[in-house]
Amino acid sequence: MPGVESDLHSIGELARASGLTVSALRFYDSAGVLEPALVDPVTGYRWYADEQIAPARLVAGLRRVGMPVPEIAAAVRAEPAAVHRMLDAHLRRLSDGLADAHREISRLRALVDPVPSSNTTLLLSPAELAAAVDAVRFAVGADPELPVLCGVLLDVEPDGVRLVATDRHRLALARAGANVDGPPVRVLVGVDLVDQIRALLDAADARPVRLTVSGADLRVAVAGRTLAGTALPHDFPDYRRLLREALGPQPATYRIPLDVAALRAALTDPTAPTVARAHLGEPLAVTVLGLDDRGGLRLLPAADLTAADLPAADLSHDPLAGPGQTDVLRVGVNGGFLLDALHAAGGPQLVLELDGPITPLAVRRPGDPDTFSVLMPIRL
């Protein structure tokens, strides 16, 4: 094909220009990431155009930083702004992976060269501890195949303890102040022991709860009784990373005040509207949340539920809509999970925070940044 090939580059020339090997170029051709401009039908030689050199260099760089092949394929075809977003997301994944690796290496060092465990003792208010347990207990997992989620994480800090629980569909956090003697420690407490401790807590009792952690051993002195147990031998998920992924670094787009009594009544009404969806092969009744004309939360009535399945609609009636928006704020949730979150948070007024129909929802107490729960939405 004289006259044509002279304007093109052979696979070896592109390899030298891009930093990719010839075998890598063949792979990215077969994967549909970087296809040659021309393939000689007789010899099978691949030929590449000048304008493919820059994409090939991009592929080489993305490969060096470990970006998955499907994302490399998308980046090659994306606009620059989208590529920057993909790079930011990949960098966050790398940072999280490095943090996970640091924790795992620390655990391995402890296995190789164990050091004597030191005690950490906390003195806590029974009322504060009871409130914290109540705020997270509903989110404890019950799947025997995921024992790491069948407990409450106690993340001891210099001046208190953070309680965390998740079952993958919801995540709950709360904090209790404490006088702490000893180093910070993280310990996963089985739900049975958590329930035993909670049963002994009396908000009217002024005597502090004494919690002692020594390695995997736990001892709790409360109300004149002592409970002893052993921490679960599992590494609880990095809840801080989960929060970053779920809620993001920016404030939520929507902050909707909740009339808890009215919302609870609506959710428990036998005639409350729902839409049928399948989850893990089983039917699930999904509650659809929307906004009323004052920007408050409402359950969408049956007449609106068919429209809720539409990809877009006029948002001119939505007082929180920004200019040019076309999607109505319609969010599918498990109504029972939302009821649990309302009950756990307590108080007549709460705030629901979210960014859109497929982003997690946060249920918060006004003025209390340490106690809240996160619910995963259900795609409509």
Q: How confident is the model at residue 280 (pLDDT cuts 50, 70, 90)?
A: low
Q: For residue 379, is pLDDT > 60?
A: yes
313 shares its domain with 353: yes
What CATH number should be reported for the domain holding residue 268?
A: 3.10.150.10
Six token digits for residue 267: 């959710």
Beta strands per DSSP E along the chain = 9-10, 38-39, 46-48, 119-124, 151-157, 160-166, 170-181, 186-190, 209-214, 217-222, 225-230, 254-259, 275-279, 282-291, 297-299, 331-333, 349-354, 361-365, 368-375
pLDDT tens readout for residues 199-212 = 999 988 889 999 99
Residues 285 and 319 in one domain: yes
In whole angstroms, give the CA distance from residue 234 to residue 231: 9
Rg (CA), the chain: 27
- Indicate whether 92 belongs to any domain: no
**Is 290 domain-assigned?**
yes
Total domains, the chain: 3
pTM here is 0.67
Mean pLDDT of 147-175: 95
Residue 28 sits in which domain range? Answer: 5-77
Domain boundary among 14, 49, 77: 77
pLDDT exceeds 60 at position 299: yes
> What share of the chain has pLDDT > 70, as a percent?
89
Task: Kindly state the helix (H) or strand (E) to which residue 192 belongs, with its residue range.
Answer: helix 191-200
Strand partners, 368: 365
| Cβ neighbours of residue 325 closer than 8 Å, sequence gap 6 or more | 315, 318
Q: What is the pLDDT of residue 306?
A: 58
Residues 232 and 262 reside in one and the same domain: no
List, for residues 17-33, the tens digit of each pLDDT value: 999 999 999 999 998 99
Residue 320: predicted pLDDT: 33
For residue 87, tell me if it sits in a domain.
Answer: no
* pLDDT tens digits for range 26-58: 999 998 999 999 998 888 899 999 999 999 999
CATH at 15: 1.10.1660.10
297 and 256 Cβ atoms separated by less than 8 Å: yes
**Last residue of some domain: 184, 209, 239?**
239
Which residue has 């499907």 as its token pair? 70
The residue with greater pLDDT, 276 or 190, is 190
Q: Please write the tens of the pLDDT for every residue from 354-378.
A: 888 888 999 999 888 899 999 999 8
